[in-house]
Amino acid sequence: MDVISVIRTKRDRGELSPEQIDWVIDAYTRGEVADEQMSALAMAILLNGMNRTEIARWTAAMIASGERMNFDSLSRPTADKHSTGGVGDKITLPLAPLVAACGAAVPQLSGRGLGHTGGTLDKLESIPGWRALLSNEEMLNVLDTTGAVICAAGDGLAPADKKLYALRDVTGTVEAIPLIASSIMSKKIAEGTGSLVLDVKVGTGAFMKNIEDARELASTMVALGTDSGVKTVALLTDMSTPLGLTAGNALEVRESVEVLAGGGPADVVELTIALAREMLDAAGIKDADPAKALADGSAMDVWRRMIAAQGGDPDATLPVAREQHVITAPSSGVLTRLDAYDIGVAAWRLGAGRARKEDPVQAGAGVELHAKPGDTVTAGQPLMTLHTDTPEKFEYALESVAGSYDVAPAGTGFTANQIVLERIA
């Protein structure tokens, strides 16, 4: 077996054999296949796709590259959630403690930013002292004592995916449906959760730009989970407009705490509760009310314990960028469009994301929104504030936001998109 033959097979639109898949994943994990060779294969997969048999085998090979976890010792049923990535998508932060407050255990293995989308671990690392890297023993202990844990996948869990995940981010192959599906599901199946809810984003700010591709990805992942004995359901949710009023690491943590305190933007609260209900239902918990757990402070209590258990200070002041630039409304009227992709790219350019896999991120960088589509604005009113520690980045970010919004004359009709578009089980 040799990697050139594997690359050529997929380059020429052939079907990879089980033996080819098993070999290339194992060889890449061991370092026998170089990054540039796996990059070529990933691009061939992006361009030419994989069938269901190939995807299932690729996922199984990723799982087989490492260990599998087991949560049978816990007294609670386990439920996990995964988002395919969006702009302002801080939902995991309030969701994990909320579901734990309602009686489930939430072993949330999360990732870092990919392209223009933010990463949950990058957001939480803006909290002083908080640790993403936990041993399996530490993870189980936090989960057992607080009901929820958000952390990085350990080196032993699907190590092939850990390498490929970072490579996809810097080679333009993030959007490949087979690689997205296998990346997500290899970690979730190896993680050992009993049930899984997938939040598959659709729209300009998502990797899936149209509902047909989102439906294909969701169906592929639901089938992979179900076939592996994990109760799996997917929601297709809108990502044409950023979620909430912030895109950036510390900015999103601050907004998440507002949600846990019973406030926060309506769209973030709506999606958090919708996903919580799906997770609780999948875990077999029928009598809990996540809306009540947000209102009565019990979700906030779990959040504080969870952050402290991972070394963070829930009362610490979050980082603030040294420089700000305010963008104002060019005219009075109704804000009718705010493009999620453009805002995500601006946040990335300001320092909230990475250009290379080894790049650091700025905790305080990002975009703060002062209006959302449907809001009435006045000429000169702040529309958004750009945050960064490096003011030379403003010019590059302003290029992205210049065409990101439309203001129409007052009285123009506006219909907001639904947050939840479809459910696939």
Catalytic residues: 82, 161, 168, 183, 187
Exposed e or buried b for every residue in 175-209, given b needs 16+ CB within 10 A?
bbbbbbbbbbbbbbbbbbbbbbbbbbbbbbbbbbb
Residue 176 to residue 276: CA distance in whole angstroms: 28
In this structure, the number of other CB atoms found within 10 A of the CB of residue 70 comes to 11
Which phi and psi (to 5°) does residue 386 adopt?
A: -95, 135
Contacts of 77 (CB under 8 A, 6+ apart): 104, 105, 194, 195, 283, 284, 285
Which segments within 138-221 are labelled E, that is strand? 148-152, 195-202
Nearest to 64 by CA among 159, 137, 155: 159
Contact present, 302 and 148 (Cβ < 8 Å): yes
Hey, what are 255's tokens? 């907004």
Contact present, 228 and 271 (Cβ < 8 Å): no
Residue 80 to residue 95: CA distance in whole angstroms: 10
> How many alpha carbons lie under 13 Å from residue 105 in its C-beta half-sphere?
22
Three-state DSSP state, 361: coil
Residue 390 to residue 378: CA distance in whole angstroms: 30
Residue 283 to residue 280: CA distance in whole angstroms: 5
Contacts of 325 (CB under 8 A, 6+ apart): 385, 386, 391, 394, 398
CA dihedral angle for residue 173, residue 369, residue 88, residue 354, rounded to 10 degrees: 40
Contacts of 183 (CB under 8 A, 6+ apart): 62, 161, 164, 165, 168
> How many alpha carbons lie under 13 Å from residue 52 in its C-beta half-sphere?
10
